[in-house]
A and B are shown apart, each in its own frame.
Chain A
Amino acid sequence: MTPTLAGITGFAALFLLLALRMPIGLAMMLVGAVGIAVLNSTTAALNIMGSFAFSYSAVFTLSVIPLFVLMGAFANVSGMGADMYRAAHAWVGHKRGGLAAATILACAGFAALSGSSIASAATMGKVALPEMERYRYSPKLATGSIAAGGTLGILIPPSTVLIVYALLTEQSVGRLFLAGVLPGLLLTALFVATVFIVSMMNPEAGPPGERVPMGERFKVLMNSGALIFVVIIVLGGIYAGIFTVTEAAAVGAFLTFMHALWSGKLNLPKFLEAILDTIKTTAMVFFILIGAHFFAPFLALTRIPVNLADAIGELAIPALAILAVIILVYIALGTFMEGFAMMVLTVPIVLPIITTLGYDPIWFGIIMVLVLEMGLISPPVGMNVFVVKGVAPNVPLGQIYAGILPFWVAMGICVILLVAFPNIALFLPDTMLGR
C-alpha cells in the first residue's frame, strides 16, 4: 500500500469510527497504531503502545491544564462569577439591554480565571438567567448572550484550548495567551455592541433595570476585588516574568482555594466535587492528546501533510483565498464536531499549509479559537447551547439558536477584522516578548 493510500484509508476509518461514536482519543489511537503497523512495522506499533501513554502524560508543561482547571473550579465554588455579574449589573443594568451586556462583561471577567467555555456558560447561566427573567428579557436575548458570552472563556487567557494548540504546534503558551488578550477584548466589545443593537431594534427584548447610585456601584465592584486580584497576580506574574505559566496556574489555584475557604463556601463535599470535576476534565483532555500522539506519527509516515502543503503552496491562488477556504471548512466542521477534538485532528494537516502560505502560527491559533467558538454555539451540536439549555429548560432550542445568531455574526466580524489586521493578535506578544 502506498503511504498516501494508507493515509486516505486511515482517515476514512477514523471518520467511520467517530461516526460510530468511538471516543475520539480511542479512535485516533486505533487508527494510528494500525497505520504505523502497516507503514512501518508491528514492533514499532507495539513499542509505541507500551510507551506513549506514560511518556505523554508525564509532561511538565501539560501540568498547567489541571492547575488552571482547578483554579476555575475553586473560583466557581467561591462565587466569584456571581460577584462579577453583580458588579457588571450595577454599572450597566439600567441601560436598555443592560443586563445582557452585564452578562457578557461578567463572562469576560470570569474568562480570565477560567479556561473553559462550558464552565463560563454554566456559571453565568445560573446567575444571570434568573435576573434577566425577572426583568422580562426576551428569552432569545437572554440565552443568546449567555451562550455567546461563555465562548469568551477559551479566547481570554488562561485557555485550555490555547495551551493544547501551543503543544501541538510547539509555540509558546505565554505568547499565545498574550495574543488572545486584545482579540478577547475586541470580541467582548462586539458582543456588547450586538446586545445594544438588538435591544435598540427591539425595545421589548431588553427592558432597562433600575439605576444604581455611583457609591453603591463602587461598593459592588469592590466585592469583585478578589477576582481582579487573582487575575492580576496570575496574568501579571506571567508577563512580568515572576512566574512561569505552570507556577502562575498553581498560584492561581492556591489563591482561589484560599478565597473559597475564606468566604466560607468551601466544605468537604464542595472540595471533593471541584477536585473530581478537575480530574475528569484533565483525563478527557489527556486522553485526546495521547490519541493525537498516536495519530501524528502515522500521519507523518503518510507524508500527506507535507505533500498537501507543497501542492497548495504551488497553486496560483492568492493565500487569502486559501485561508478563507480553510476558515469556512472549520466553520462547517465545527457545526457537528467537538471543537477540541477538531483542533487535535486538523492542526497537523492545516498548520504546514498555514506556514507555507506565510501566516503566523500564533495569529492562526487565535483565528482557530474564534472559529471553534463559532462552532460551540452553532447547530446541530453546540456544546455551549446545550449547557444553556440545561440552565433554561423551558426555552426551546430553536429560540436559543435564533438568539445566538446576531452574536455569531459578531464573531464572524471579529474573524474578518483579525484577518485584515493581524496586529490585533500579534501586537501584545511582539511588543512585550519581542519577535
Chain B
Amino acid sequence: MLDAFERGFERALRLLAYAGGLVLAGLVLLVVYEICMRYFFGRPFRGGYEITELAMSVIVACGLPYTAIMRGHVSVDLLSGIFDRPAFRWLNFIVHMMGAVLLAVLSWESIEYALRSHAHGDVSNMMQIPKSPFQFGVAISAGLFSIVLLLEAIRVIYPKETTEKAKI
C-alpha cells in the first residue's frame, strides 16, 4: 500500500518538476524575445522583470518536493555510519518528523499570507498580475515537501518491502 502510494507520489512530483522545467524554458524564450525587441525593434518589453520574478517562484515551488523525494537536498553525511544503525532509528524518525512539522507550519502560514495578499488585492507593478496564486503555489509546494518528509519518517520505522525481499 505504502509502496504503491510512494511510487505514485514520486511520479506526480516528477511531473510537477517537468512543469517547472517548461516554465524555465519559457523564461529563456521570454528573455531572448525581450532582447530582440529591444535591439531590433527599439521597443523594450516592460513586463519582463516581474514575469521573471513570478516565474522563478513557480520554478522553485515545482522543484522543491521532487528534489526532496529524490534526496537531492544537501545534508552532511559525515556520521552516516553511526546513525544508520537500528539503535538510532527513533532519532532519525524524530529528525524527519521535526522537518515535516516545520514545513507543515510553513505551508499553513504561507496560505494565510496568500489569503491576506488576495484580500488586499496585491498585484505586480507593471502588469498588475495578482501575486496570490503564486503564493498559494509556494504554500502547496511546502505542503508536498512536508508529506515527503512524513513518508521518510514512516520509512525509518517500516523500511521498504523490496529491500526486505532482497535480503531473503
Contacts and interface: CB of A to CB of B under 8 A. Distances in A.
B118 to A, nearest CB: 13
Contacts of A275: 18, 21-22, 24-25
A287 B59 CA distance: 12
A242 B103 CA distance: 42
B70 interface: yes
Nearest to A24: B74
A158 to B, nearest CB: 15
A256 to B, nearest CB: 10
A356 to B, nearest CB: 29
Given A247-B31, A279-B21, A279-B24, A23 B75 contact: yes
Contact of B27 (A63, A284, A338): A63
A54 B57 contact: yes
B76 interface: yes
A46 B110 CA distance: 9
B28 interface: yes
Given A20-B95, A381-B78, A257 B28 contact: yes
Given A247-B34, A283-B63, A58 B54 contact: yes
A19 B162 CA distance: 28
Interface string A337-349: 1101100000000
Which size class do A's interface residues fall under? 35 or more
Interface stretch (A26-34, A138-146, A319-327, A423-431): A26-34
Given A50-B113, A250-B31, A287 B73 contact: yes
A21 B76 contact: yes
A243 interface: yes
A23 B70 CA distance: 13
Given A58-B54, A66-B24, A66-B59, A280 B72 contact: yes
A53 B106 contact: yes
B59 A67 contact: no
Contacts of A247: 31, 34-35
Given A50-B113, A246-B52, A284-B74, A278 B79 contact: no
Contact of A57 (B56, B74, B77, B109): B56
B106 A70 contact: no
Interface residues of B, number: 62
A130 interface: no
A18 B114 CA distance: 31
Nearest to B53: A58
Interface in B6-51: 14, 17-18, 20-22, 24-25, 27-29, 31-32, 34-35, 49
B147 interface: no
Contact of B76 (A24, A30, A282): A24
A17 B75 CA distance: 10
Contact of B109 (A49, A251, A338): A49
Interface of B: 14, 17-18, 20-22, 24-25, 27-29, 31-32, 34-35, 49, 52-57, 59-64, 66-68, 70, 72-80, 83, 91-92, 95, 98-99, 102-103, 105-106, 109-110, 112-114, 134-135, 138-139, 141-142
- In the complex, the 9 A-B pairs of residues with the closest C-beta atoms, listed nearest first: A283-B63, A275-B21, A50-B109, A250-B31, A50-B113, A57-B60, A23-B73, A58-B57, A283-B67
Given A50-B110, A54-B57, 11 more contacts: A19-B78, A21-B95, A23-B73, A24-B75, A70-B28, A247-B31, A247-B35, A279-B20, A280-B66, A283-B72, A341-B76
